[in-house]
Structure 1
Amino acid sequence: MDATRKRPTVTELRLSAFKSHRGATFPLGPVTLFAGASGSGKSSALQAYEALARLGSGAALGEVFRDPPGCVPEGAEADAQGRRGFRIGCTVDGPVGPVRLDLAVQAEPELRVVGERLTADGRTLLTTALRDPGRSSVQAAWHTGGAVAVTRAPLPDDRLGTALLPLRVAGSTEGQRQVLAAAEQVVVALRSVFACDPQPQRMRAPVPVAGGRLRGGCDNLAEVLRRTRTECTTRHAALITAARAGCAGTVDDLTAEDLTDGRVRAVLGRGAEGATPVGRLGEGELRYLALALVLLTGPGVLAVDPAAELLPAQQVLTVLADGFDRSLDARQTRELVRLAVMSCGRGHIRLVGAVGDGDRARGVDGVSVVDLVP
């Protein structure tokens, strides 16, 4: 891909039939916050996005959907064969223009892909369909061009066909190259995702020094702080500024302290007042610090597996943050929104979050608030 052109990004999420959503289409900007009361479908939207991301990374359906019947919209009736399912999709914009991916999944009586469609510029590039329920495969057809307009072959019914195309398409015709470019664009965008939901109860204890990459629950916050303090002083200084804005009392440092048993703990510097281990902070302060760290770092620090075939500068990391304002006060939420707008405005990171109160971000330049109702 040409580095001077647009980096692949998911610009639309479609929940045609998924949990509480039917016929829903959600445009996604640099910072998108789903807002609404409990039961409005905020978490479901993020779960669908994460599911597509994991499928794009090559995961099997059974790994992604642990409770398939729970993904079927309530009240959906089974057909004559007892089959029920759900449908999700997305649009990925990038160097080849908008590319649509739509996926139909059978949840009952057994989990399997029953249909997939990849389209770009008005042309269907890939379709799959379940022809023989007795076989664990779908019949796929992808655009070829040249002497043979379409190539047909079976694909596994437990994987995303789009993610398998680079292994099956030779790229010897213009049509095949178009298919590969579209599939690559979708896979690159979907793989560059970090699902994050900080768990304060797991962030309080000291942790061993291991890989130095922040996990989705942020339980190894102290280990990552130990690394970021020395690797990027500018970003770490910004994190200290954020801590000062969102934590009670005096804050002049945020560091990691090595313990005699080989573990490390995170500590807030309090100036003349000494220091406070972050394990003593409240849940809101811990979640705030973790989310600020996520927004101020990148793929090299977060536990994500981006596409290796592209340089990091050619990719956009999307942070999925369920409960983005959970346990936070208004001041902390506003500061995190400000950090998100600042970080996402540079074009290398995007945020899709779920909030209980959208009013704290409504009207902020660069933020799209999607209001959901139960």
Structure 2
Amino acid sequence: MLAAPPAAPDVPETAPAAPSTPHTRPDRPSITRLRLSAFAGHRGAAFALGPLTLFAGPSGSGKSTALRAYEALARLGGGAELGEVFPDPAACVPEGARPDAQRRRGFRIGCTADGPEGPVRLDLAVQAEPELRIVGERLTAGGLVLLETALRDPSRSVVQAAWHTAGASPVTRGPLPDDRLGTALLPLRVAGKTDGQRQVLAAAEQMVIALRSVFACDPQPPSMRAPVPAGGGRLLRGCDNVADVLWRTRTECARRHGLLVAAVRAGCAGPVAELLAEPLPGGGVRGLLDRGDGRRTHLGLLGDGELRYLALALVLLTGPGVLEVDTAGEVPAALQTLTVLADGFDRSLDPRQAGELLRLAARMCERGHIRLVGAVSDASGAAEVAGATVVDLGA
């Protein structure tokens, strides 16, 4: 299990999409496959991801685990160290996995990014015990191995890497650190002088761009009810500072704010004429619903479902400039797609709210600038929403 990942697909894909052609390849790189070859409760699993994908199933079926693996790959693609991404690596090892003769255990995850370069596949093998390290990585495209790493000397904190050159020498070899994703480091190591090197750089760039623009969120109603300090106006993953963000978005884009008010009106009880944020005398900001008849309801009085609905609608209607997202700053926004990872997408929502939010997500995802991967307990309403892909882990 701790050897370098295999070059050929080792698990069947769920609901495979049609292969890309030069005429159908998307302009914006995006993750279209998630592979959990051996990760926590998943073994030999692979999932096709569309613009709007919902993981469904009973508690314990692995919905949150799939989102956690996606987020881990995204953080590694952004350059994070392995220990930051996996603070409890033993929890990622499949249950019942036995250590080898050297007492090593680990896990394997991967993904495919589609874009101008066609499908680019990344596979990663991670040793969790006795120490956390990357022991194998493979980047492939068009059946060609572009990067391959392997742990040769356990006493050194590096892996031996070989990347495609197609020049005087077919490959170039060198060490890479064992605590970072090699694909994300390639632009610092590859000169780009040969056609082969340029192919490696283009594939690595596509993978990194697809991975980096991710916003993982799980709104927490208890912390959303209290006034918050006025700050930078970038929404946090728990949406604690939603009032501060409303203070900003209401003045920056009247059209988007109008769409948000309309969405909140459809999902919250009672009339909603406006969505406001106001400063408090003692400092801080709180959010309000203007009922249109002189009454104002501050967010602290809303139910859990209303607050989660409001926060998720705000996420879907904004973008990287408002959300706490680590985007690829060197790449124009027009070439990036924001992916929202929403655990408990329908948590605390009644059927009407869940339906409204799902339809809003479908409309936003259809435009191409945003993708959503969510975990839901009930996906029955998704059958009526065009473009929604449901991955049923309870089947």
TM-score of the superposed pair, with normalisation by structure 2: 0.93
Deviation at 1:305, TM superposition (A): 1.5
Pairwise mapping of residues 231-270 of structure 1 onto structure 2 (< 5 A)? 231-270=252-291
Corresponding residue for residue 280 of structure 1: 301
Within 2, Cα distance between the matches of 1:232 and 1:327?
A: 29
Corresponding position: 1:112 with 2:126 = no
Deviations 1:328-366, CA, capped at 9 Å, x for gaps: 100010011011001111000000000001112124211
Corresponding position: 1:16 with 2:16 = no
**Aligned with residue 69 of structure 1, among 90, 95, 102:** 90
**Aligned with residue 70 of structure 2, among 33, 46, 49:** 49
Within 2, Cα distance between the matches of 1:218 and 1:295?
A: 13
Corresponding residue for residue 13 of structure 2: none
Tell me which stretches of 4 or more aligned residues in structure 1 moved more than 6 Å.
Answer: none
Within 2, Cα distance between the matches of 1:363 and 1:164?
A: 43
Counterpart AA for 2:41? S
Corresponding position: 1:204 with 2:225 = yes
SS of the equivalent of 1:272 reads coil
SS of the equivalent of 1:29 reads coil
Within 2, Cα distance between the matches of 1:70 and 1:120?
A: 31
Counterpart AA for 1:16? S
**Aligned with residue 240 of structure 2, among 219, 231, 246:** 219
Within 1, Cα distance between the matches of 2:28 and 2:285?
A: 37
**Aligned with residue 78 of structure 1, among 99, 103, 120:** 99
SS of the equivalent of 1:239 reads helix
Corresponding residue for residue 187 of structure 1: 208
Corresponding residue for residue 351 of structure 2: 330
Pairwise mapping of residues 288-327 of structure 1 onto structure 2 (< 5 A)? 288-327=309-348
Within 2, Cα distance between the matches of 1:307 and 1:140?
A: 24
CA contact (8 A) 2:56 2:375 kept: yes
Corresponding residue for residue 190 of structure 2: 169
**Aligned with residue 58 of structure 1, among 79, 83, 90:** 79
Within 2, Cα distance between the matches of 1:154 and 1:247?
A: 56
Deviations 1:304-344, CA, capped at 9 Å, x for gaps: 02101211111000000000001110001001101100111
Deviation at 1:142, TM superposition (A): 0.2
Deviation at 1:19, TM superposition (A): 0.6
Corresponding position: 1:341 with 2:362 = yes
Within 2, Cα distance between the matches of 1:21 and 1:305?
A: 28
SS of the equivalent of 2:199 reads helix
Q: Which moved more, 1:40-49 or 1:208-217?
A: 208-217
Deviations 1:235-263, CA, capped at 9 Å, x for gaps: 11111111111111111111101111231
**Aligned with residue 164 of structure 2, among 143, 147, 166:** 143
Within 1, Cα distance between the matches of 2:219 and 2:111?
A: 26
Name stretches of at least 5 consecutive residues in structure 2 with no aligned partner. 1-24
Within 1, Cα distance between the matches of 2:324 and 2:277?
A: 19
Counterpart AA for 1:356? S
Q: Decide whether aligned partners of structure 1 residues 314 and 65 sit closer, same or farther in structure 2, where only a CA change above 3 A counts.
A: same
SS of the equivalent of 1:210 reads coil
CA contact (8 A) 2:26 2:114 kept: no
Within 2, Cα distance between the matches of 1:183 and 1:360?
A: 38
Deviation at 1:272, TM superposition (A): 1.1
Within 1, Cα distance between the matches of 2:175 and 2:222?
A: 47
SS of the equivalent of 2:138 reads strand
Within 2, Cα distance between the matches of 1:5 and 1:323?
A: 29
Within 1, Cα distance between the matches of 2:392 and 2:294?
A: 44
Counterpart AA for 1:282? G
Counterpart AA for 1:170? A
Corresponding position: 1:94 with 2:112 = no
SS of the equivalent of 1:138 reads strand
Within 1, Cα distance between the matches of 2:64 and 2:294?
A: 41
Deviation at 1:273, TM superposition (A): 4.8
Deviations 1:184-231, CA, capped at 9 Å, x for gaps: 000011100000100111101111111111111100100110111111
Within 2, Cα distance between the matches of 1:213 and 1:317?
A: 15
Deviations 1:280-310, CA, capped at 9 Å, x for gaps: 1111110000000000001111110210121
Q: Decide whether aligned partners of structure 1 residues 311 and 176 sit closer, same or farther in structure 2, where only a CA change above 3 A counts.
A: same
Within 2, Cα distance between the matches of 1:21 and 1:318?
A: 22
Within 2, Cα distance between the matches of 1:100 and 1:170?
A: 22
Count of aligned pairs between the two proteins: 371
Deviation at 1:5, TM superposition (A): 5.6
**Aligned with residue 251 of structure 2, among 210, 226, 230:** 230
TM-score of the superposed pair, with normalisation by structure 1: 0.98
Deviation at 1:6, TM superposition (A): 1.4
* Structure 1 vs Structure 2 CA RMSD: 1.0
SS of the equivalent of 2:358 reads helix
SS of the equivalent of 2:383 reads coil
Counterpart AA for 1:323? G
